[in-house]
Structure 1
């Protein structure tokens, strides 16, 4: 077993892995210190991820993909981390998070809608003022003082992310549209997408904790819906809609 420590969302996690790939994968997040929690990936966890991937491919009607054990181990590790971090009021959220002037904005959508394309345009529009936090599965720490979004090594197929944290100002549900438009939405309207986009544990008690955190999350950040044509002008529409004072 390879044992090492990483820090995610302010928590030190001791990881024990079967393969060296996970250590390399997490290289930008390595730390030393007293761990807040320990995660060990077992062969059964890798087998679970392989079967889960197979079922999903069959459901989507695509050829079954053959993932290596070390890649599946990385997926298994993050699933176990996601479940463990619930004890600290931290959620794994499927979305693309970008910071502008140190403030975070999180875009989520159905797969293939173009959230990564949109956030990449934020970096083009704002230049050095914009930093990609995480392009796939950022962490959201829900506290009494607000919500913080943090980067992780699990940052998508393009590996776009930074080891940083930022206060989260808004979550925006992105939809394709011919003309750019943005509108605030209520927690009730946003709720189905928020539930769909968080990690949902199989354990009933942890699932209930997840749903309670979603309720708190939706009450602490602004919620928006963005109709986006994927032109760079959509960035200005989104930013001015979420930051009317800018």
Structure 2
């Protein structure tokens, strides 16, 4: 059994597992600090992930998925949830883009990086952690950062969530989060089989919608789409 510790969303997690793959994958988050909690992945966990997988995967990769699942199930106890989306930071503030699979979320965030260059930091391109601290939400990088492996081990205050859809013209509008409640909640990792976990996750999510402005955007693949989303969200802060 291999052991190592990572620090994610300000929590140190001791991981016991069998394969080097997970250690290598999480290398940017390795720490020697004292752990806040521990998880262990065994063969039953790997088989559980294999049954859920849509593609054939190595045991090492399935073990990584099990680590991700176990951590995500514990983090709501620390006012933290995993959200499916891409977080970009500009001027020290984070903006989260989310969209149904195949809509172009990763393309839009790539265009932001091309347009703003070094002014933009990709906090996480797939599964950031969002944490409540008093009356503010912070976004954190995680090792689970999508097929392009784009993330930074940093923390930024979250200032907006934008739901993307494909359109010929670029437009953005601020909306009431209640209008898209089911969609946004489905982007949160939650386990309904554990009542306490489900209630805590729901409480964090409800507070998220009260604190963070929600936007809906139609966009094409262009730098004009980047400018539209930037001005639409950052302009609201001024």
**2:129 equivalent to 1:139:** yes
In the alignment, which residue of structure 1 is the partner of 2:212? 221
1:11 alignment counterpart: 11
C-alpha root-mean-square deviation of aligned residues, in Å? 1.1
Do structure 1's residue 44 and structure 2's residue 34 form an aligned pair? no
Contact 1:100 1:131 in 2 (8 A): yes
| 1:60 alignment counterpart | none
CA shift at 1:34, angstroms? 1.2
Contact 1:190 1:223 in 2 (8 A): no
Residues 71-220 of structure 1: matches in 2 within 5 Å? 71-201=61-191, 202-220=193-211
Aligned residues: 236
- The aligned counterpart of 2:224 is 233
- CA distance, structure 2, for counterparts of residue 233 and residue 156 of structure 1: 25
Deviation at 1:207, TM superposition (A): 1.4
Q: Deviations over 1:175-234 (max 9, x none)?
A: 101100000010211311211101021323211211111100011111100111121111
**1:162 and 1:186 mapped to 2: Cα distance?**
30
Q: Distance in 2 between the 1:118 and 1:16 partners? A: 37
Where structure 2 has 5 or more consecutive residues not aligned to the other structure, the ranges are none
Q: Is the 8 A contact 1:200 1:210 kept in 2?
A: yes
SS in 1 for 2:101: coil
Partner of 1:198, secondary structure, is: coil
> Which consecutive residues of structure 1, in runs of 5 or more, have no partner in the other structure?
58-64
**Other structure's SS at 1:87 match:** helix
Determine the C-alpha separation between the residues in 2 that align with 1:190 and 1:224.
10
| Runs of 4+ in structure 1 over 3 Å off | none
